[in-house]
Amino acid sequence: MEKATITLAADADGIARAAALLREGRQVAFPTETVYGLGADARDDRAVAGIYAAKGRPAFNPLIVHVADTDTAQQIAAFSPKARALADAFWPGPLTLVLPLRAGAGISRLVTAGLDSVALRVPAHPVARALLAAFGGPVAAPSANPSGRISPTTAAHVVAGLSGRIAAVLDGGATPVGVESTIVGFDSDAPVLLRPGGVAGEDIARVLGQPLRRPDSPAQPTSPGQLASHYAPRGRVRLEATEAHPGEVMLGFGPVDGALNLSPSADMTEAAANLFAMLHRLDEAGAEAICVAPIPRRGLGVAINDRLARAAAPRDRS
Ligand code: TXA
Ligand code: MG
């Protein structure tokens, strides 16, 4: 276990030091365009085990592998024409593809939790891209928060949750998208939306020329990250609220204003970028009950509502 977590500036020196720590098998948090990831060498079992340990994450939960480009991704997984079309349209960017793992790809079994598929993504954030280039290998990275807690969108969030448990955090400022990547898998050749996220499902369906299916069963082991209660602040959460009840703090949206407002102008991109940061702020302020204004279920609103539903779910997690 690490002792002190150092914060590294996202300049050439900081990126070189972060890459060196990854090469030593250590765990380093870094910004992506979605949220901060907790990275480790995806080929190194011990390094990956260190991610699970730092997060206190259930060991059956597989991790996303971050790579520099589509060529590298194709060495790790087999791409169908549809998968290739999505990579061409959305990488680098907030899309994760779950694809058949190639034999001999060298990815730690702890990353895939023993599945014969692997989740891959080429991030767009310049600091993530610089780190992947400097490291020169695949980086496994879940969101850099303790398991079951809110995803971090600033280096300060990472430090608040994981200080003393990881080697370093590369500070690249606030992450622009603010919700995790959209995860798409394939059932035979049919595209399945495993997790809504930073790329709108409508845009994916448009590129493929066919609708995305939802997973057959929400409890499917192929998407174990979809634990019911996740992204949870400490306080109770009530959704679709048009006004605060006594004792509640309101998280507003558009004209339904509150102590904080995700986007006074009802802009979905702004709301997604603010979501976790505002939940963190209410958490830090000690809010015991949070109510959230209705958010339309279109575009990024699907991902926002998904995360909010998890934040409001009964607290049955460890
Ligand atoms: O935006 C993101 O995706 C962020 C940044 C850091 O890249 N990462 C992220 O990772 O959200 P994480 O570990 O918090 O979520 C990974 C999700 C989980 O729901 C997991 O179950 C799913 O990906 N997953 C990973 N490998 C899978 C696989 N082989 N099959 C199905 N689902 C998989
Ligand atoms: Mg997460």
Please determine, for residue 317, whether its predicted confidence score (pLDDT) is greater than 50: no
User: Which of 57-61, 93-97, 118-122, 300-304 comes out lowest in average pLDDT?
Assistant: 57-61
pLDDT, residue 39, reads: 98
Note the pLDDT tens digit of each residue in 62-109: 899 999 999 999 999 999 999 999 999 999 999 999 999 999 999 998
Give the list of residues 6+ apart from residue 80 with CB closer than 8 angstroms, or none.
Answer: 99, 186, 189
- Work out the burial of residue 100: count CB atoms within 10 Å of its CB; fewer than 13 is exposed, 13-18 middle, 19 or more buried: middle
pTM of the shown model: 0.85
Note the pLDDT tens digit of each residue in 146-185: 988 899 999 999 999 999 999 999 999 999 999 999 999 9
First-to-last C-alpha distance (Å) of the chain: 21
Per CATH, the number for 6-208 is: 3.90.870.10
Residue 192, strand partner residues: 185, 213
pLDDT, residue 273, reads: 82
Query: Which ligand has its closest atom nearest to the C-alpha of 32?
Result: 1
Nearest atom of ligand 1 to the alpha carbon of 115:
29
Q: Residues spanned by CATH 3.90.870.10 within the chain?
A: 6-208
Structure tokens, 292: 């959230």
Please determine, for residue 1, whether its predicted confidence score (pLDDT) is greater than 70: no
Buried b (16+ CB within 10 A) or exposed e, 126-161: ebbbbbbebbebbbbbbbbbebbbbbbbbbebbbbb
145 lines ligand 1 (CB under 6 A): no
The C-alpha atoms of residue 3 and residue 167 are separated, in whole angstroms, by 8
98 lines ligand 1 (CB under 6 A): yes
E strand or H helix that includes residue 206? helix 201-208
Note the pLDDT tens digit of each residue in 276-314: 889 989 988 999 999 999 999 988 888 889 889 988 887
